[in-house]
Amino acid sequence: MVVPVQRKVLEGLRGIGLNLYERNLYTALLIKKVATATELSELSGVPRARVYDVLESLEHKGFVIVQHGSPFKYVAIDPRDAFENMKKNIKEESERAIERLEELKKSDIMKELLSIFKKDLKLISPENFSGIIKSNDKIRQQIRMLLLRTDKYANILTSEKGLEDLSYNIKYLNRLKKKNVDIKIIAPITNKNREFVRELSSYAKIRDISGMNSPIGKLHIFDGKHILLGLINDREIEPSQETAFWTNSPHVAKDLMEPMFNHMWEKANEIN
């Protein structure tokens, strides 16, 4: 017998990382409160051969307590406590992963990986390093990475929302300021984003493009080499569907995109 559970409940559990069998077993256990593996298999529809390893996984994640005996019984943990347990586990695992990454960055393994990457690198055309980046989170991550590698200048044509996103990169912009990197930003200035403009103006020259028709929505040029070009107006789509094209191409950056940016810069209004 499989007890029905509302789809939105199962989807919610899926969103926090529980797989199908984990979701079904945990909700079955919430109904029974205390049960054996056999009872849970019948109630949830999870095959008996898989019940034990799935329950072990739920115990590790903090959703289940095991009563040792013959037979073993399993106790449901209050969902509020289970979520806190999982949050604690995720935080601890993330901290451990960050520590391992930092150790690897300083180790001989990193030197070997860089050696492999740089071998014959000059034989490959820069234009081959390009790709489509999808979702606002990944685009922002790429921007941060490129800001970290910028030594001379960054030219940015962006939207109202893009200007807000840039305000989250203050620590990266501060690093560029200390390196005397020249940063220019063109964006529509409104009453809603003037606070961001004031914050960013400490690190960049900003001009207003309000009311002007831009040939493109968003454009980032870093050191005349890397460009990040928004392919869709970010006001029209969900953040997960935002898309950008990235390439490492001095030709595209200097010969095609920089003249366009410079033209927009000259037409844009200075900020009072």
Q: What share of the chain is helix, strand, coil (3-state, %, to 5)?
A: 55, 20, 30
For the sheet containing 73-76, what is the strand order?
34-36, 73-76, 64-67
Q: Pull the structure tokens for residue 188.
A: 């529509």
* 208 close to 187: Cβ distance less than 8 angstroms: yes
- Please give the mean pLDDT across all residues of the chain: 87
Query: What average pLDDT does range 236-254 have in this prediction?
Result: 84
Of all residues in the chain, the percent with pLDDT exceeding 90 is 41
Question: In whole angstroms, what is the distance from residue 221 CA to residue 249 CA?
Answer: 10
For 7-81, give the CATH class.
Answer: mainly alpha
**pLDDT given at position 37:** 92
For 130-270, give the CATH class.
Answer: alpha beta
* CATH 1.10.10.10 location in the chain: 7-81
Query: What average pLDDT does range 83-89 have in this prediction?
Result: 91
At 26-81, the pLDDT tens digits run: 999 999 999 999 999 999 989 999 999 999 999 999 999 999 888 889 999 999 99
* CATH 3.30.870.10 location in the chain: 130-270
CB atoms within 10 A of CB 113: 13
In this prediction the pTM is 0.62
Which phi-psi region, left, alpha or beta, contains residue 238 (left: φ > 0; alpha: ψ -120 to 50)? beta
Residue 71 amino acid letter:
P
Query: What average pLDDT does range 220-241 have in this prediction?
Result: 81
At 121-171, the pLDDT tens digits run: 566 555 556 788 888 888 888 999 999 899 999 999 998 888 888 888 888
- In this structure, are strands 182-187 and 153-157 parallel, antiparallel, or unpaired? parallel
Q: Pull the structure tokens for residue 255.
A: 């010969």
**1 has a pLDDT exceeding 60:** no
Greater pLDDT, 223 or 116: 223
| Residue 253 DSSP class | I
**pLDDT given at position 124:** 56
Question: Which uninterrupted H or E stretch holds 11?
Answer: helix 7-15
Question: In whole angstroms, what is the distance from residue 145 CA to residue 206 CA?
Answer: 22
Residue (of 239, 211, 215, 203) closest to 157 by Cα position: 215
**pLDDT given at position 27:** 93
Question: Coil, strand, or helix at residue 5?
Answer: coil
Q: Report the sign of the C-alpha dihedral through residues 199, 200, 206, 210, in that order.
A: negative
Q: Pull the structure tokens for residue 84.
A: 């806190």
Question: In whole angstroms, what is the distance from residue 33 CA to residue 26 CA?
Answer: 10
Residue 172: CB partners within 8 Å, gap ≥ 6?
A: 144, 147, 148
